[in-house]
């Protein structure tokens, strides 16, 4: 057997990004898409000021309306499946245990030798 030296690097080809890296990438995508919203509104003002055409300015605003919805859909999307990965539903069945019934309380009678159950239990 050969011992591995500290200088040797191992390539893990199937390693996925950490959840923190995936979250950071999704936030970056969301912010990038939302960054187009304010310039679109400013562009609508510029278009209206230059052309005095309210319908053209309204069209620019209308194009910016679905941006938040699209940004959320894209940001919440999971990473793409790897080639050859089979889509399967993993059902995590959790065994439901019956609620535990507490044992009847025992009272120790100083005059009796054995404990006995409380009346009404």
For the segment 73-85, the average pLDDT, to the nearest whole number, is 74
For the segment 42-52, the average pLDDT, to the nearest whole number, is 94
The alpha carbon of 65 is separated from its chain's Cα centroid by a whole number of angstroms, namely 25
For the segment 2-11, the average pLDDT, to the nearest whole number, is 62
Q: What is the pLDDT of residue 20?
A: 86
Rounded distance between C-alpha atoms, residue 106 and residue 116, angstroms: 6
Q: What is the pLDDT of residue 13?
A: 64
C-alpha pair distances (Å), 25 with each of 16, 61, 73, 115: 13, 27, 14, 66
Report whether pLDDT(31) > 80: yes
Q: What is the pLDDT of residue 4?
A: 57
Please choose, from the candidates 32, 14, 35, the residue with its C-alpha nearest in 3D space to the C-alpha of residue 79: 14
Q: How high is the mean pLDDT of the chain?
A: 76
Rounded distance between C-alpha atoms, residue 15 and residue 41, angstroms: 42
Tokens linked to 83: 């080639």
């Amino acid at each position: 057997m050969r011992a591995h030296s500290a200088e040797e690097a191992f390539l893990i080809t199937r390693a996925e990004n950490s959840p923190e890296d995936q979250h950071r990438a999704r936030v970056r995508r969301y912010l990038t898409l939302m960054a187009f919203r304010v310039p679109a509104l400013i562009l609508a003002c510029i278009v209206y000021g230059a052309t005095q055409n309210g319908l053209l300015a309204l069209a620019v605003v209308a194009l910016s309306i679905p941006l938040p919805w699209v940004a959320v859909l894209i940001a919440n999307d999971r990473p793409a499946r790897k080639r050859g990965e089979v889509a399967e539903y993993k059902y995590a069945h959790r065994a439901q245990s019956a609620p535990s019934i507490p044992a009847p309380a025992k009272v120790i009678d100083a005059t009796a030798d054995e404990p006995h159950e409380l009346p009404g239990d």
